[in-house]
Amino acid sequence: MARQAHQAGRVLELTSNCFSGIMNPADLTWLAETSWELPTKGQLGQVCHRWLNSCLHFALPESERLRVVSEYRCSLFQVEYSRNLLFRRPAQMEQVFEALIDRTRARLDLRQIMTIFGRKRRPHFKGKSKGRRLKLERNLERPAYNLTIFRLHFAPLTLKLYTKGEAVLRAEVMLHNARAWSGPRRLDQFPELINQFQQILERFLNQLAALDQAFVADDTLDTLGQRGQVGSTPPRVWGLNQPRLRAVLQAVLALAITPGGFSVSQLAQQVRVLLGWPESQYQPRHAAYDLKKLRGKNWVHKIGSARRYQVETSALKIMAALLTLREKVIKPVLASVTKPKSEPNPQPQTDLDLQYGKVQTEMRALLLILGVAV
């Protein structure tokens, strides 16, 4: 397939036995759809016929081989169909996969496994040989460092979900023995078989998506405390535990809608109002230094050559979310979660009080599950 893509002028990067670098996803789609469309007339059928013809050299003399007109009907024995999910960041792939396993392996019961494979009843085999009984199970394997395999057995099929390489998450359905498969298995039925496998794999991924919605975190929180740089002198590292910085963020949010941007003097005045400080305690030079921290993170930019500044739209969402989470979620939860027994609730309770009570109860249960609290 890689050779076909190269001959067709399509750029694909091959790592082991999977395509990991794709400049144009349409190229890979074209290659995958055309590779198994007509296998009997394509390379797969030709390879089988050439191999069978070569076997005649050991069975018949040359004179008889020239008189023999042979026609072959090939069938499949083992088939694998996989789909690779490519991630830009390996850490995000690991986060999604590990969280998916932790939250779905307990919920994925045998009935759901049978639904994925298109069976309504538990498989059985009417025979005396115990070795031929069909197997239905789910398990989780860690055969190597940093490699996790999520495997579902429904003989003769197996579904696997595992990491491959740096940033590839592969979903795979495998037919071990086509003789035990009730579906199509002749070579001319290969497209029909692949269509069935495609439906099984899509049903498997849809079931996992229904059981758990993956959350992919970016590096916003991890890089929050890292210093940026504007000019030759980098500012100090900052954090939300500093009241002065929180006031600066609140002031920037308040001044973000100012037409034409805001000045350093306006920022200093707004911070003094929020903190109740005199002018001597927080001057424009202090505001310029704090503003430099935000500019180093590309949250605020200077408007042309004027000494006025404007806030980035994405930065507004980050600053508003940080302040809201700290004041409305983290502070009340931390204030109550460490209390082994709550005091009598004041009456009457508002809707907000009731919601905070629910958060407190659920937070205690979560900490008990994680082993953080006892």
Q: What is the pLDDT of residue 229?
A: 65
What is the overall mean pLDDT for the chain? 75
Domain boundaries, the chain: 75-123+133-217, 229-333, 338-374
Residue 185 or residue 38, greater confidence:
185
Residue 99 or residue 41, greater confidence:
99
Residue 1 confidence (pLDDT) above 80: no
Q: Per-residue pLDDT averaged across 91-119, rounded?
A: 63
Residue 136 confidence (pLDDT) above 70: no
Distance of CA 101 to the CA centre of its chain: 12
Tens digit of each residue's pLDDT (9 = 90 or more) over 285-317: 999 989 988 888 888 999 988 889 999 888 888
Three-point CA angle 324, 327, 331, nearest 5°: 135
Residue 277 confidence (pLDDT) above 80: yes
Q: What is the pLDDT of residue 272?
A: 95
Here the contacts of 106-113 (C-beta below 8 Å, separation 24 or greater) are: 107/211, 107/212, 108/138, 108/152, 108/207, 108/208, 108/211, 110/136, 110/138, 112/207, 112/211, 113/138, 113/152, 113/154
- Helix and strand totals (H; E) in the chain: 13, 9
Q: What are the tokens at 139?
A: 């398990």
Omega before 156 within 30 of 0, i.e. cis: yes
Q: Which fold has domain 75-123+133-217?
A: Alpha-D-Glucose-1,6-Bisphosphate; Chain A, domain 4 (3.30.530)
Q: What are the tokens at 96?
A: 């999604």
Tens digit of each residue's pLDDT (9 = 90 or more) over 310-324: 998 888 888 888 888
User: Nearest CA to 300 among 259, 266, 249?
Assistant: 249
User: Nearest CA to 357 among 330, 331, 328, 337?
Assistant: 337
Could you give the dihedral angle defined by the CA atoms of residues 194, 199, 205 and 206, in that order, rounded to the nearest 10 degrees? 170
Residue 76 confidence (pLDDT) above 80: yes
Contact by Cβ (8 Å): 14, 20: yes
Cα–Cα distance, 271 to 196 (Å, whole number): 64
Contact by Cβ (8 Å): 294, 246: no
| Helices 243-255 + 313-324 axis angle, to 10 | 130
Amino acid at 120: K
Q: What is the pLDDT of residue 373?
A: 59
Cα–Cα distance, 108 to 106 (Å, whole number): 6
Residue 176 or residue 218, greater confidence:
176
Model confidence at 47, pLDDT cuts 50, 70, 90, reads confident
Q: What is the pLDDT of residue 341?
A: 58
Q: What are the tokens at 241?
A: 């535990």
Q: What are the tokens at 6?
A: 């190269």
Name the architecture of domain 229-333: Orthogonal Bundle (1.10)
Q: What is the pLDDT of residue 251?
A: 92
User: Nearest CA to 151 among 183, 212, 108, 185?
Assistant: 108
Q: What is the pLDDT of residue 6?
A: 62
User: Nearest CA to 28 among 82, 97, 76?
Assistant: 82
Q: What is the pLDDT of residue 102?
A: 67
Here the contacts of 181-184 (C-beta below 8 Å, separation 24 or greater) are: 181/156, 181/157
Residue 121 confidence (pLDDT) above 70: no
pTM: 0.53
